[in-house]
């Protein structure tokens, strides 16, 4: 009997000891996880900064896709040529535009008719970015430290107008469906006048200046000759990846190669770390999803659209292949949905022309909810030019086709068609 009681007492002591040990270990794990959480956030921040510095070769450029200058000689314009536009923007027109942005203090809203009327003035410079940029961040992205961060408008295209010894910045805010105007400082006026006078007409026109193009949006630029564009070969860089390439990409995207689970699926490779899943599809597409209620891998400040752009760009830089690539990335748009989610989309451009990929214009799309990127899709493609060129259908023929479809106020642009196959891409006009 005594032995039985002794055995029961020993059992109770063991159970008590095990319970205390379990509580102790749970407490240590909680502390450890807390430490890991803090460490993870620091690691994320440091890795993102490293990625941003290392990936300069694949920069999302703030650069117009079209530029036009109007003076007494007529219109000088260039489009679908990143080399010429880049030189013009870097040497003269970019710093003038930046100086004008820094001088923006108060904006007045105008009608679309007033916007179009500004193009009928004698002297102006037109910049078309074909995407939406927040005024509050645009000047700083162009290298200026003097930025009015209180401005909430966005800019997709604009003109700097010189008129009666004064200069105006007039721009389209496609995000809000508005047009704005601002009087600029006199120092900008002098420089604007001198810059405008340096250009000679190359016989370009805007659509409103020629009845033949009255089906187009009024400020569509028509060159003297039909556009000539180079052909590009498209390919899937993931096919060439080694295990080392994959691990480098995972590290850049803040996955720990030593803490992940990797397995093959019918569509490609699946990587899991915690409740975060990254898929590398064999066609070259990356997809990410987190099911965690406390996701912190890709946190985004959603208080300003500029912050959303900057922080999603950093993720995009981290995912893009190290392979040599002739494509540039440009922002397409940032959309706010009724459920509070935000979608930021980016596209490839070649020679200033958008790439239509898998029937879509975007190469990357980020889905943000409650300040966290919960999903993204990134199509990894490699583009290399060859020695062949395509002379596109003249705009007069495009206008006739659009007129036959009873469409008006149409914008047009060439597009490269990437079906996802490894081959030379076709080029065609797109009316939208």
At residue 31, does pLDDT exceed 60? no
Superfamily of segment(s) 233-385:
YycH protein, domain 2 (3.30.310.160)
Q: What tens digit of pLDDT does each residue of 214-236 get? A: 999 999 999 999 999 999 999 99
At residue 41, does pLDDT exceed 50? no
Comparison of pLDDT for 177 and 46, the residue scoring more: 177
Average pLDDT over residues 311-327: 82
Domains of the chain, residue spans: 66-224, 233-385
Comparison of pLDDT for 140 and 287, the residue scoring more: 287
* Strand 353-357 to 412-418 pairing: parallel
Tell me what pLDDT residue 185 has: 86
Token pair of 330, please? Answer: 């440009």
The pLDDT confidence band at residue 379, using thresholds 50, 70 and 90, is very high
- Mean pLDDT of all residues in the chain? 85
The pLDDT confidence band at residue 21, using thresholds 50, 70 and 90, is low
Task: For 104-136, give one letter per residue: b (16+ CB within 10 A) or e.
Answer: beebeeeeeeebeebbeeebbbbbbbbbbbbbb
Q: What tens digit of pLDDT does each residue of 144-173 get? A: 766 666 677 889 999 999 988 899 999 999
Average pLDDT over residues 392-420: 95
Round to whole Å and give the CA distance between 396 and 216.
11
Q: Residues in the chain, how many? A: 432
Average pLDDT over residues 376-391: 94
């Amino acid at each position: 009997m005594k032995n039985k009681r002794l055995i029961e007492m020993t059992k109770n002591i063991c159970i008590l000891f095990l319970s205390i040990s379990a509580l102790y270990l749970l407490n240590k794990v909680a502390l450890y996880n807390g430490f890991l959480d803090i460490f993870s956030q620091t690691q994320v921040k440091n890795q993102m900064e490293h990625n941003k510095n290392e990936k300069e070769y694949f920069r999302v450029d703030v650069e117009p896709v079209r530029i036009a200058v109007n003076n007494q000689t007529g219109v000088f314009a260039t489009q679908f040529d990143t080399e010429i536009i880049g030189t013009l923007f870097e040497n003269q027109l970019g710093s003038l535009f930046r100086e004008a942005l820094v001088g923006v203090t108060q904006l007045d809203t105008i009608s679309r008719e007033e916007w179009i009327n500004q193009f009928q003035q004698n002297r102006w410079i037109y910049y078309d970015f074909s995407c939406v940029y927040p005024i509050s961040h645009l000047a700083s992205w162009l290298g200026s430290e003097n930025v009015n961060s209180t401005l909430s408008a966005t800019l997709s295209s604009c003109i700097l107008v010189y008129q009666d010894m004064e200069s105006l910045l007039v721009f389209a805010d496609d995000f809000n469906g508005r047009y704005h105007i601002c009087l600029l400082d006199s120092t900008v006026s002098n420089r604007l006048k001198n810059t405008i006078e340096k250009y000679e007409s190359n016989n370009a026109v805007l659509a409103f200046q020629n009845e033949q193009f009255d089906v187009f949006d009024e400020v569509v630029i028509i060159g003297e000759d039909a556009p000539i564009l180079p052909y590009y070969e498209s390919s899937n860089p993931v096919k060439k990846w080694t295990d080392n390439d994959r691990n480098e990409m995972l590290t850049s995207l803040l996955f720990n190669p030593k803490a992940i689970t990797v397995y093959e699926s019918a569509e490609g490779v699946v990587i899991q770390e915690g409740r975060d899943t990254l898929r590398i599809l064999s066609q070259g597409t990356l997809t990410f999803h987190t099911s965690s209620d406390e996701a912190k891998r890709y946190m985004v400040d959603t208080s300003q659209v500029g912050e959303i752009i900057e922080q999603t760009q950093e993720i995009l830089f981290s995912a893009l292949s190290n392979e040599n690539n002739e494509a540039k990335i440009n922002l397409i748009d940032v959309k706010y949905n009724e459920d509070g989610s935000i979608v930021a989309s980016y596209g490839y451009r070649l020679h200033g022309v958008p790439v239509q990929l898998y029937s879509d214009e975007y190469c990357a799309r980020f889905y943000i909810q409650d300040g966290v990127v919960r999903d993204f899709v990134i199509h990894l493609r490699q583009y290399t030019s060859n020695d062949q060129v395509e002379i596109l259908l003249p705009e007069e023929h495009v206008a006739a086709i659009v007129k036959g479809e009873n469409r008006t106020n149409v914008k047009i642009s060439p597009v490269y068609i990437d079906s996802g196959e490894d081959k030379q891409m076709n080029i065609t006009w797109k009316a939208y």
